[in-house]
Amino acid sequence: MNWNKRLPGCVIYDDGGYDLALAKQSVGEGWHGILERLFSAKPDWVMVVQVKEKFGGLRFYTDDGTVRVDCIGLGSFTVPTEKGQFTEDQIAQSQAFRNLVQEAEDESFSVCEDCGAPGKRRSGGWIRTLCNQCHKKR
């Protein structure tokens, strides 16, 4: 969709979503393997809208059927994507992928975000999941 072309003065957030390169820039190297697995299993029509670390765990958000649009003079609002056109098969595959994402997010709590070694959540000002070595470096 090209809302920005149809609506001059509007900015669409996450139109097109995250690709693997942008996702990798958003979290530590230790989780890049998890991201590669998710992107290779991702159905084409599922859009990744945000990837980040939160409370020591990977967060991998996929299209929830809306995108945020900011328009000069009109403010910010959300508009639906073309989700209504999906077939039953596609919806089932999307659901299966959501389960994979859930497993990957759970797994991230035991993988060092810096190096990929087995790790655990470390408390402190900023909760991170790290192995013993990377934890000592901080």
Distance CA 23, CA 65 (A): 20
Distance CA 121, CA 129 (A): 4
Kindly state whether residue 53 participates in binding Zn ion, applying the rule CB under 5 A: no
What's the DSSP call for residue 118?
B
Distance CA 25, CA 95 (A): 26
Shortest Å, Cβ 121 to Zn ion: 13
- For residues 58-87, which are near Zn ion according to CB under 5 A? none
Pick the stretch among 37-45, 51-59, 87-95, 124-132 that binds Zn ion (CB under 5 A).
124-132
Q: According to CB under 5 A, which one of 42, 112, 128, 129 is a site residue for Zn ion?
A: 112
Kindly state whether residue 114 participates in binding Zn ion, applying the rule CB under 5 A: yes
Count Cβ atoms within 10 A of the Cβ of residue 138 and give its class: 0-12 exposed, 13-18 middle, 19 or more buried: exposed
Pick the stretch among 15-23, 48-56, 68-76, 129-137 that binds Zn ion (CB under 5 A).
129-137
Residues that bind Zn ion (CB under 5 A): 112, 114-115, 117, 131, 134
